[in-house]
Structure 1
Amino acid sequence: MRVLIVDDDPTNLDVMGALIDRLDDCSSVRFSDPLAALAWLGTRVPDLMLIDHMMPELDGVTMIGILRDDPRFADVPIVMVTANRFDDLRVEALERGATDFIEKPVRVGELRARARNLLALRRSQRLLRDRAALLADEVARATADIRDREMELIVRLCRAAEFRDPETGLHIDRMAQYAEVIAERLGLGRERCRDIRIAAPMHDIGKIGIPDMILLKPGRLSETEFQLMRQHAAIGHSILSGSRVPLMQLGAVIAHCHHERWDGTGYPRGLSGTDIPLESRIVTVADVFDALTSARPYKEAWSLDRARSFLEAGRGTMFDPDCVDAFLNRWEDVLRIHAANQDPMEPAHSQLA
């Protein structure tokens, strides 16, 4: 442990330094010039400081005040060494941040005992700090492990839905990234944007409960079939709701409301405007855009510009205007995501209508 000693008297400096050096696991750093000591402290933090009161250029009380203004030295014990026994000086030094006092002439036993006690306190502080850092690191690792397990569960759920719906392909990857882009543009926090990207692929998890004759029908659905297909939103919510996992809770909200429309004509609850959860409004724009630009057995893929025009036309009726604007304001990112996540054997579509 390092002990800084500042005293303009060479004899006092040598005596105190020698006493400190004899303590176990201690070494002294000595300065006769307080300004030189401050310069040294610019890049170092000792474990104990012994500072003389009467020094040229900078007195001990002022120096202690300067040091206490620096948060690096907030917990470092500082002892003022002084021949002055006036109470006013001691009160001022304490108010500036002095931890203790040693009177001159320095007595060997007193200096040794005070230094040993204060260094023991400093060791305890460092041990607590290190334990706190270790605990924080362990908590961070445990939290990351829990999140990894949650992610694995979500991925496996989405894979289950993919086995039921062969049209899915890379749709969920693209739309999840589109959703994150929209959330970022809306100014949502980094963690919330990430959570939306992770939860967005669960939007169609309810299709697990739709009969194959409807889900896998190559042509357009009849009105009756379409009404049955609509149930996937409520089924998805039923599967995911009630979970203690925050990402599952978010997935339940998205699954339930991603077919609601801004004007209130959507399903299953007929919500409108800001009554629709923001995360669902975001996913709606991302999902519809990618569905339009993806090939299906019953339709060809739309061009990107045609799909863009559809979003613009539905702004304020089908879609939240802010979400559409956020999506279109990040158009270069949309193009990048689309190009980088093409389904096998599916060429990138032209932007021209």
Structure 2
Amino acid sequence: MKKNIAIIMGGYSSEYEISLKSGQVVYETLDASKYNAYRIHVFKHKWVYVNDLDEEFPVNRHDFSVDIDGNTIQFDCVFNAIHGSPGEDGFMQGYFELLNIPHTSCGMYQAALTFNKRDCLSTLKPYGIKTAESYFVNLGDAIDEDAIVKKVGLPCFVKANRAGSSFGITKVYKQDELQNALNVAFKEDDEVIIESYLDGVEVSVGVITYKGEVTVLPITEIVSDNDFFDYKAKYLGESQEITPARIDETQANKVRSLAKKVYEVLKLKGFSRSEYIFKNGVPHLLEVNTVPGLTEASILPQQANAAGISMSDLFENAIEEALQ
């Protein structure tokens, strides 16, 4: 009997358009002979099932069901394609865990932790995982620009703490640029992390649970045409994403081992994609994404393809792992 799969997409953050694209790819890719797939749009003002005629049917949030022409649809599993809040920060995970509905992403605590860059990096440091020097600022704090520059140096990156897809990030070269960068970051979040600039090769490493085993996918090297791997570089083709990365085997082994360690230390499930920059031959962790982009142009599907895993196999495996 075919399983009913809800593909949640959209979300409450600036990433909603990217999420809709990811969710649509999942919808078009899943094997219709195995699954009944339903597109569920999740927005602040509405949660709705959207059929192929773009007709909308409201979701009953009490049990996450949908009534369609007098028939109530219950879901066997949820495929999470929401980047940002509420799909990547723990809210949806907690909701589905309370309803006892399997879902393809990590647990509630892990999602909340990894979405919070400051807390995630702080949690991993005791395990010997290297990161950039950092300085934390909250909305309303007095800004001591001299202290910031003394701690992290220039240039540096000012980042919204809980945002993705490079929203709310600015590379700062001069001290008098800090306040404007903070204003940009505070538009996305009321917490900010300011990090030192790491000059080195940047790589992205996908780690998934595949057929019951923690599996590190081929490494991708990121070469941005812009000043850093910003939104345009990620989504508008202004970068090169080279898989496998042009790094030597010693470096490759280091970052593969580190990415697997991060996945296991954090007790992640499903998909993850972590970013690193090599400084003096040592990979330094930038961040961990637990709902990465899932379009054909996205990094994780590219890595899976290089490992001989098709898009349909990648998505179906995530569902089957969740159902187990």
Shorter-normalised TM-score: what interval?
under 0.3
Answer 1 or 2: higher relative contact order, Cα 8 Å, separation at least 6: 2
* TM-score (norm: length of structure 1): 0.26
* TM-score (norm: length of structure 2): 0.27
Higher helix share: 1
Q: Highest CA radius of gyration, 1 or 2?
A: 1
